[in-house]
Amino acid sequence: MKLFIRKKEGELKDMKIIVAKDYEEMSKKAADFVAAQIILKPDSVLGLPTGSTPVGMYRELVKRYQAGDIDFSNVVTFNLDEYCGLDAENPQSYHYFMMENLFAHINVPKQNIHIPSGSALDIQKECDQYEQKIKDAGGIDLQVLGIGRNGHIGFNEPATYFEAKTHMGQLDEDTIRANARFFNSIEEVPKKAISMGIRAIMQARKILLLANGEEKAEAIYKTVQGAIVPQVPASILQLHPDVVIILDEKAADKLSL
Ligand code: PGA
């Protein structure tokens, strides 16, 4: 494991980049980080991602819970996103994913779990209420993020502006292709999703971004060393005061560290 510090101007804290040797090590380091957050602030508000990237981190967190090292009884969670049109029981939904990979195995109270409802009849109302719930919880203490190979965070897809609030958006063609691996066919991939907006992510007190594999190397390069543009949504993280990025060697391959 190697730690690199990317110096920032002025008030901003330096960006910390940890390069782990492989997915396993990345996942363990990420779990260390989340566990430390919960130990230091047992009533932490966590922002959580889905996708292949965090599966190993969740597995580690479950192990640590089972070993008695962490207690989720006062933790509050907000998931980043959910597909539109899939209800919570649908195995392709992010509700289902979170139950399978984390919530069913730990002691976080049901009422503390928040995931946007993709089957809400009034999507705009669902988005507004989600936004309000994040505010009412006092904002997010630690936001964990994966990244799309197109640089998206949550379903904040490349665009001509940064979408501030929780919103429904169209999935990018590349995201539909990337996520088709979880479905029987590409036609089955929902074309729309509800996503937490850039503001709640940027207002999180700490951010932990994870990426592994060579297909993420370009997005990571643009996020860390490219221009801050809405065409690469994750690039806005350069402006966040407290970001830690944990990568495997392949995802770090294009960075000049
Ligand atoms: P992945 O997705 O972890 O399945 O690669 C990440 C993302 O699209 O944000």
Domains of the chain: 21-235 (3.40.50.1360)
pTM of the prediction? 0.96
Please state, for a pLDDT cut of 90, what percent of the chain lies above it: 93
The secondary element (H helix, E strand) that includes residue 61 is helix 55-66
Catalytic: which of 101, 150, 179, 212? Answer: 150
- The tens digit of pLDDT for each residue in 61-91 reads 999 999 999 999 999 999 999 999 999 999 9
pLDDT at 6: 85
Question: Hunting for tokens 């509050």 — which residue is that?
Answer: 76
Contact 237, 154 (CB under 8 A): no
Average per-residue pLDDT for the chain: 96
Catalytic: which of 25, 60, 81, 141? Answer: 81
Is the per-residue pLDDT at 10 higher than 80? no
- Alpha carbon distance 226, 228 (integer Å): 7
Q: How far is the CA of 39 from the centre of ligand 1 (A)?
A: 27
- Assign 257 a pLDDT band (cuts: 50, 70, 90): confident
Q: How far is the CA of 216 from the centre of ligand 1 (A)?
A: 9
- The tens digit of pLDDT for each residue in 97-115 reads 999 999 999 999 999 999 9
- The tens digit of pLDDT for each residue in 177-220 reads 999 999 999 999 999 999 999 999 999 999 999 999 999 999 99
Ligand 1 atom at shortest distance from the alpha carbon of 54: 3
Q: How far is the CA of 52 from the centre of ligand 1 (A)?
A: 6
- Alpha carbon distance 4, 14 (integer Å): 10
Q: How far is the CA of 111 from the centre of ligand 1 (A)?
A: 26
- The tens digit of pLDDT for each residue in 22-48 reads 999 999 999 999 999 999 999 999 999
Contact 245, 209 (CB under 8 A): yes
Q: How far is the CA of 56 from the centre of ligand 1 (A)?
A: 13
Is 150 noted as a catalytic residue in this protein? yes
Phi, psi for 169 (deg, rounded to 5): -130, 165
Q: For residue 206, what is the DSSP state?
A: E
pLDDT at 11: 64
Q: For ligand 1, which residues put their CB under 6 angstroms from it?
A: 51-53, 146-148, 152
- Alpha carbon distance 240, 205 (integer Å): 9
Query: In what side-by-side order are the strands of the sheet with 167-170?
Result: 81-83, 192-195, 167-170
- Which of 50, 53, 220, 248 is the pocket-test mutation for ligand 1 (most atoms within 8 Å of CB)? 53
- Which of 50, 79, 189, 195 is the pocket-test mutation for ligand 1 (most atoms within 8 Å of CB)? 50
Is 157 noted as a catalytic residue in this protein? yes
Contacts of 99 (CB under 8 A, 6+ apart): none
Is 152 noted as a catalytic residue in this protein? yes
pLDDT at 12: 67
Q: Which amino acid residue places its CA nearest to atom 8 of ligand 1?
A: 148
